[in-house]
Structure formats: structure tokens, C-alpha cells
Amino acid sequence: MSESGRNHHNTSSHIMNTCTSRSLALVATLLASASLAAAPATTATLVDYNFNADQAPSNILSGLTAGDVTWGPFDGVAQSNNTYWRSTGQGAGNSANLAVRVLSNDTAAKRLLWTDTSSPANVFNFGSYVEFTVTPDAAQSINLESFSAWVGGTSGGSTVDGFSVNAFLTTSLTGDNYATVIGQSGWISVDKNTTNSGQLSVSFSDASLSAWNFTGIENSVTFRIYLAASTAGVTASKFQYARLDDIVLTGTVSAIPEPATTAVFGASLLLLGTVALRIHQHRSRN
């Protein structure tokens, strides 16, 4: 190769190398920006309720709103201290909690908590539940990780029979009007004149829940907890109580990727492909 040819080759290579370096630097910048915008969030408590002051959320993660825990219809029985109410004691750590009597404390002595040993059908039919709703902010989505709640029962005196309590978790995400139970505490036995407790815990990634999607939630989602009491073989009493406390919902809140972010990835890949093609063509000619 002549000296002029070598000079032309060197100049061409220098220009190509410079263009390649600048292009790759641009690709790196674009990808870094897009990756930062789409960085995964860390699992945290989305909302929790301890009922110490009221039935409003105790804590709410930024990026969403959550409503108060509200009562179901309980077969038309009005809310009061004689039926179901926010109790100031005997919850988790003897704290405030939501309490429901098995029988109403009045002359009607109406049954408020039901059971069916084969299914929670009676519990569902009489509306013995509490519920709350979580809503992501605009341009945000929720990925659910877990749900937990303290579930307890109290037999209020030495002359009051023991019994058992259970809590069933349902959600609007199953799309069947809360007919599907996605978790339960299991039956918790309560002896005379005692309070006993258990835990209602659900992992939304559990294989048994794979039929439903608990990620990328962009709209309001409601969680409903049905309470049940079993008094089989014993006498139901107005001094038997089911209790619910320390509701905790965990997960992540993430920004929904904007079209511009997706476009950045696409443009970066296109530019990267163009650079690779030019390098190949340059090497082929030289």
C-alpha cells in the first residue's frame, strides 16, 4: 500500500473509531437513563392498620391511597358495642382491635358470626366481614407481595363456653364477587375465660394463587376478611368474641413506564445495531 493509501486508511479508521466511540457512549447514556427510570422498587409495607385510634390506615406508602377498614352488613344488624365495634383492648399485645360478638348483646340475641364445617358459605351469606380498598396513584402500579392479620378470639368468663374462630381472606382481584378464599387463619380454639390468637398470612406468589394476577395493578383493589365462629357442641354466647388486628399489606409501588422510556430502549438497540453494521462494513472494505 502506498503512503497516501496508508494515510487514507489511517484517517478512515480514526474517523470510524471516533464515530463508534461516540455512538457507543450515546447508547450507554440512553440505556442508563432508561434503566434508571425503570429501576425495580423495594418491597415495603403498602398499608397497615393497628386500630389504636380509629379504623383509618396507620401508615400508607407514597404512591397510593387507602381507605378506612369498614364493616360488612352483618345481616342487617346495626353496628354498636353490643354487636361489632372497635374495641380498646384484648387485641395483639392487648391493644385495640376490631371485635365481633357471636351473639348480639340485646334481647334479640341475634347470631352475628356463623360457620359451616365444609365451607364458609354461611359466613358469606350473612355478610360477616370487614374490608378496605387500596388505589395506586395516577401513572403508578402495585405489585402485591403478602398479606397478614392477627386473628383472635375471647371467651369472656368462666361460665361462657369455649369456641373457635376463623378468618377468610378474599379480594376483588379474583373477579367473582369475593367468592374465592385466597387464605385463612384456620380454626383457632378459645378456652373458657381466655383469649387465644393465630395469624392469617398469604403470599401472593404462592403457586396455589397462580390463576390470578397480583402484579401490575393500576386500579383500585379491595380486600375483604370474613370472620367466622364455631360453637358446635357448646352454647353460643354474647360474651364470645372474634377479634381482628394488625392488618399489613406489603408489595411495591412503581411508575408505569412511559412510551418515551420504551422508545429510548428501542432507539438504543437500533443505534447499537447500526454501529455494529458499520464496523462490519468498514472491516470488510479494509
Name the residue with higher pLDDT: 24 or 143: 143
Determine the Cα–Cα distance for residues 54 and 87; give it in Å rounded to an integer.
10
Determine the Cα–Cα distance for residues 285 and 282; give it in Å rounded to an integer.
5
Determine the Cα–Cα distance for residues 164 and 92; give it in Å rounded to an integer.
17
Which grid cell sits at 195? 383469649
Residue 277 has pLDDT above 70, yes or no: no
15 pLDDT band, cuts 50/70/90, is very low
Residue 204 has pLDDT above 60, yes or no: yes
Q: pTM score, two decimals?
A: 0.79
Residue 5 has pLDDT above 80, yes or no: no
Closest of 275, 90, 271, 260 to residue 165, by C-alpha? 90
Determine the Cα–Cα distance for residues 154 and 101; give it in Å rounded to an integer.
9
109 to 101, 163, 174, 237, 238: CA distances (angstroms): 10, 17, 35, 8, 7
pLDDT of residue 120: 73
pLDDT of residue 38: 54
pLDDT of residue 281: 59
Q: pLDDT digit string (tens) for 208-253?
A: 999 999 999 999 999 999 999 999 999 999 999 999 999 999 999 9
Determine the Cα–Cα distance for residues 265 and 34; give it in Å rounded to an integer.
7
Q: pLDDT digit string (tens) for 158-178?
A: 899 999 999 999 999 999 999
Helices 259-285 and 3-37, packing angle to 10 deg: 160
pLDDT of residue 257: 82
16 pLDDT band, cuts 50/70/90, is very low
Q: pLDDT digit string (tens) for 22-60?
A: 555 554 554 555 455 555 679 999 999 999 999 999 999
Q: pLDDT digit string (tens) for 77-127?
A: 999 999 999 999 999 999 999 999 999 999 999 999 998 666 677 788 899
157 pLDDT band, cuts 50/70/90, is confident
